[in-house]
Amino acid sequence: MDRRAFVSRLLDNRGDLLVVASIGSPTYDVTACGDHPRNFYIWSGLGSTPTVGLGLALAQPNKRVVVVTGDGDVLMALGSLSTIGVMQPKNLIIVCLDNGHYSASGMQPSATKAGVDLADAAKACKLRVEAVTDLSGAEKLRELLHSGQGPLFIHALVDADDQPRVVPSRDGIAIKQRFMSAIGTSV
């Protein structure tokens, strides 16, 4: 499955969705759909994306939070799946684009290439799991982003390719301020 086409289908008519994208290819995939003030891009700290989504989902229980991440990010933070499983945020969806490789870092194989199953891991951590291997399932999953009960883990098997980078702002403070302005938050 082409990752760009899949993410594009998921974020079609995205409405009020809040999107958090991990460092590397997921950030490029989300940006390729069009930069958006309700996007937050993480440019460091591989493994942090699921818990950024958790903190945001807990703070904004009436908004839908979509984490777009990859196998590398989730593997580095497998424990965070259990943290999320304990908290059971109903408004959190994790979309894991699993290509079995570290595509933004040299295309080395990841553990999932050797058969480690992140869907099984998510299920064991009390997340609801939807698996998808081709675009025919994208529309149903797009609807789940807006109305499905979380915590939901969408395990998407995507092609191992290094697509052209579509690079958003790397100014963390600017991305943060824009996001918070868009949803009207402050601390």
Partner 1 sequence: MAHWDVEEHIHSAMQAGWPDRIHNVFKRHGIKQVGYVADNGIARLIDLCQNDSAITGVALASEAEGAGLVLGATLGGERAALLMQSSGVGNCVNTFSILKNCAAPCVLVVSMRGEHNDFNSWQVAMGSITESVLTLCGFHCVRVDNEADVELTTDAACKMAFGGGRPQVAILLGQEMVSRTKPKGH
What does the binding site for partner 1 look like in residue numbers (CB under 8 A)?
Answer: 20, 40, 42-60, 77, 79-80, 82-83, 86-87, 172-173, 175-176, 179-180, 183-187
Cβ-based nearer residue to partner 1, 114 or 187: 187
Return the number of other C-beta atoms located less than 10 Å from residue 128's C-beta: 15
CB of 152 to partner 1, least distance (A): 17
Cβ-based nearer residue to partner 1, 37 or 109: 37
Cβ-based nearer residue to partner 1, 160 or 183: 183
CB of 29 to partner 1, least distance (A): 20
* Of 84, 104, 101, 97, residue with least CA distance to 138: 97
CB of 54 to partner 1, least distance (A): 6
DSSP letter string, 95-133: EEEE-SEETTTT-EE-GGGGT--HHHHHHHTT-EEEEE-
CB of 167 to partner 1, least distance (A): 16
Ramachandran region, residue 74 (left: φ > 0; alpha: ψ -120 to 50; beta: rest)? alpha
Measured CA to CA, the distance from residue 77 to residue 85 in angstroms comes to 13
